[in-house]
Amino acid sequence: MAAAGVDHPVFGALLDGGVRITSAHVTDIPIAEYVLAQVLRASVPIEAMDASTAQRQWTKHDWREVHGTRWLVIGLGSIGSAVAVRARAFGAHVTGVRRSPTGDEPVDAMVTPDDLLAAVPDADVVVLCAPATRHTIGMVDAGFLGRMAPQSLLVNVGRGQLVDEVALRRALDAGRPARAILDVAVDEPPADDSWLWDHPSVTLTAHTSAGGDGRHARAADVFAGNLASFVAGEALVDEVTPESREAPPG
């Protein structure tokens, strides 16, 4: 279950049975790198450049810079924060969404979930980093998508259940947003005849954004530290509670 978030039903059953569970924030680095790589891929026409070279054509290409774009990162835990840090390093303006801002978030502006829809129209890139809870399932619906800017990107590295996929298809067909970059889907993998596989405005990957090779060593360090704390009767780092599994974004 290394790739499963604590929203997975098995963890609820374990908690109900008295098992203590901790999360391990060891995938924020690769997921954030994935987000930046995919946004850059959608912005810089690298494939067109390669095609020109393969055809021995000395062709110039223009593109929209990431610098100066406005990002909306929904869910500002370890993953969302890592995304924000890297986007700001590229010169993007980042607004974070969190239910209880602390004032030290690595963003340029903060809003709460109550003000989320008002922030959507200004975003060039919307990144979903939230878990699937009763507060977030279906949050990206027709109303949300209808507020997105025509040339914007939607990136989902949270859970497929955050997005109404029927509404998303209609929105993409209408050109708002311009592209959806999805590392997660409601059904994984999608059915063979799912529109997600071949829609021209969808980049679909196999829930693989956490695949960085450094995650294993970080996970081992987290486990060893918590094991020592457990033996000593001390508090565990990032222990999961029933309440935290149902928390709103951030």
Q: Which residues are catalytic?
A: 159, 188, 207
How far out from the chain centre does Cα 66 lie? 17
**DSSP letter string over the chain?**
-TT--TTSHHHHHHHHTT---B----SHHHHHHHHHHHHHHHHS-HHHHHHHHHTT---------STT-EEEEE--SHHHHHHHHHHHHTT-EEEEE-SS--S--SSSEEE-GGGHHHHGGG-SEEEE-----TTTTT-B-HHHHHTS-TT-EEEE-S-GGGB-HHHHHHHHHTTSSSEEEES--SSSSPPTT-GGGT-TTEEE--S-TT--TTHHHHHHHHHHHHHHHHHTTPPPTTB--HHHHT----
